[in-house]
Amino acid sequence: MRQAHTVEQVRVAETARMAQLPEGALMQQAAAGLAAAVLDLLGGGYGRRVLLLVGAGNNGGDALYAGARLARRGAAVEAWLLADPVHQEGLAALLAAGGTIAGPEAVARPDVVVDGIVGIGGRPGLRPDAVAALARVEAVPVVAVDVPSGIDVDTGELDGPHVEAAVTVTFGTHKPGLLVDPAAAACGVVHLVDLGLELPEPPIEALQPADVRRLLPRPAPDGHKYTRGVVGVRAGSATYPGAALLCVSGADCGLAGMVRYVGEVADVVRRHHPEVVGEGRVQAWTVGSGGGEAAGDELAAAVADAVPTVVDADALRHVHGPLGVPAVLTPHAGELAAMSGVDREDVEARGLHHARAAAERHQAVVLLKGRRSLVVHPDGRVRVTTTGVPWLATAGAGDVLSGLVGALLAVGMTPYDAASVGSWLHGAAATLASRGGPLVASAVAATLPETVRRVLAGGMEESTA
């Protein structure tokens, strides 16, 4: 499990760890990991030019000590000091190793910039001198120290200028802003340096293949189609028959023992999915994809069955409070904006805030779809989906996802686990189906069984954040 802790949690853990170590040892651990990441990016140190952008505080100290290590490896290291004073011991170490201090006019064009401007205690945005320094080295790859300077570390929000990093070297644990968009998009590849911190339960997690493998239920040796779970789909319409097909395709991936379809296009569905049957008892419903004007009635019928329900697309317009059954709501930013009475742009800028508010308001798990989909429990816990590819932003992909989550509910998973595992598998299937190029939603659904096989066999690579 990839865990993300708040600034306060990290500070408490770091204070406790420093009490166990000689003075300065924790910063030296961080600097060693940072220097190693810079060397890896550059392919070595000798003859390379490194510019440190150094602010006050420990992040500046990390950058300076890492700069000293790089200088000893043959790199030409300059420090542009953006605060007075900076970390004095770190500056002395840099100068002793052969590094230099550069003024704004004397900076030679570097091969890499190390962002040690502000750390996890910084406020969103950057001061004008930091903005000017970054402008001088535009297009040079940046390695951020702990977090890209200028992001909101605890919320993942952006408010003003910020660093766009190629690599972020973070210490001890991930922070929310490294996983949650829009800030996560500014982090590049994230490399975690273990500092041996004792940390509490995290408010934010990102599932990894081992977690998905652990959570996925397996059929019992004596199981049959009914004990394996029956998922019902109320989706599609004469206007949008494709939505029914795609939703059923997600549900009919083999995880549940049976799929039932109720709707206007049953003949079309059964022509493509002959194993799908009609109305009857179910353990979970998926409702709303392409449902049009009938979506409200279909939602009411599903809720009347008193089983867990996935609410998607058109059915979301009929959710005005708690549904009275375990539920997963699957809006994209526009749909969540309509449900919350705010602009879409505000949801895109403050997705974590709005998803948490909606989960509490509706007492349901909210799966906010996006580049980094958020799965939010009513109690505030969050899982971030780090699988997927940009090609997944295609029509019908959400219909497949809602059907898949419904199948996972039917096999007995909790709404929180079903939504987060379903979102992870959906992104992983898209990655397999894409093979680096375009894909359509039906290809994602077709690849789900192979994705599950690979996960269960332990053959999936770790997702990256």
Cα maximum dimension of the chain: 79
Residues 93, 218 within the same domain: no
Residues 131, 223 within the same domain: no
Q: Amino acid letter at 88?
A: Q
Residues 66, 110 within the same domain: yes
Domain limits for position 181: 2-206
- DSSP strands (E only) in 117-227: 142-145, 167-171, 189-193, 204-206
Task: Choose one of 206, 224, 240: the last residue of a domain.
Answer: 206
65 in a structural domain: yes
Residues 238, 194 within the same domain: no
pLDDT at 106: 64
pLDDT at 384: 98
Angle at 396 between CA 393 and CA 398, to 5 degrees: 75
152 in a structural domain: yes
Q: What is the mean pLDDT of residues 387-391?
A: 96
Omega within 30 of 0 (cis) for the link into 176: no
423 in a structural domain: yes
Residues 183, 220 within the same domain: no
- Rounded percentage of the chain residues whose pLDDT exceeds 70: 98
Residues 40, 117 within the same domain: yes
- Average of per-residue pLDDT values in the chain: 96
- Rounded percentage of the chain residues whose pLDDT exceeds 90: 95
Residues 339, 254 within the same domain: yes
Could you read off the pLDDT of 82-125 as tens digits, one per residue? 999 999 999 999 999 999 998 777 667 899 999 999 989 888 99
Number of C-beta neighbours around residue 278 at 10 A? 11
The whole-model pTM stands at: 0.95
Q: What is the mean pLDDT of residues 335-347?
A: 98
Residues 226, 160 within the same domain: no
162 in a structural domain: yes
Could you read off the pLDDT of 398-408 as tens digits, one per residue? 999 999 999 99
Q: What is the mean pLDDT of residues 327-345?
A: 98
Decide the pairing of beta strands 365-368 and 374-376: antiparallel
Q: Collapse the DSSP code of 335 into the 3-class scheme (helix H, G, I; strand E, B; otherwise coil) and give the result.
A: helix
CATH code, 377: 3.40.1190.20
Residue 252: pLDDT over 90? yes
**What is the torsional sign of CA 155, 158, 163, 165?**
positive
Residues 424, 290 within the same domain: yes
465 in a structural domain: no
Could you read off the pLDDT of 172-223 as tens digits, one per residue? 999 999 999 999 999 999 999 999 999 999 999 999 999 999 999 999 999 8
How many distinct structural domains can be found in the chain? 2
Residues 355, 429 within the same domain: yes
Task: Choose one of 206, 221, 249: the last residue of a domain.
Answer: 206
300 in a structural domain: yes
Of the pLDDT bands very low, low, confident and very high (cuts 50, 70, 90), residue 142 is very high
Task: Choose one of 206, 224, 251: the last residue of a domain.
Answer: 206
Residue 439: pLDDT over 90? yes
**172 in Cβ contact with 197 (< 8 Å):** yes
Could you read off the pLDDT of 293-303 as tens digits, one per residue? 999 999 999 99
pLDDT at 463: 44
Calpha distance 204→375 (Å, rounded) = 10
Residues 19, 63 within the same domain: yes
Residues 196, 84 within the same domain: yes
261 in a structural domain: yes
CATH code, 198: 3.40.50.10260
464 in a structural domain: no
pLDDT at 104: 75
**381 in Cβ contact with 3 (< 8 Å):** no
**373 in Cβ contact with 397 (< 8 Å):** no
Could you read off the pLDDT of 157-177 as tens digits, one per residue? 999 999 999 999 999 999 999
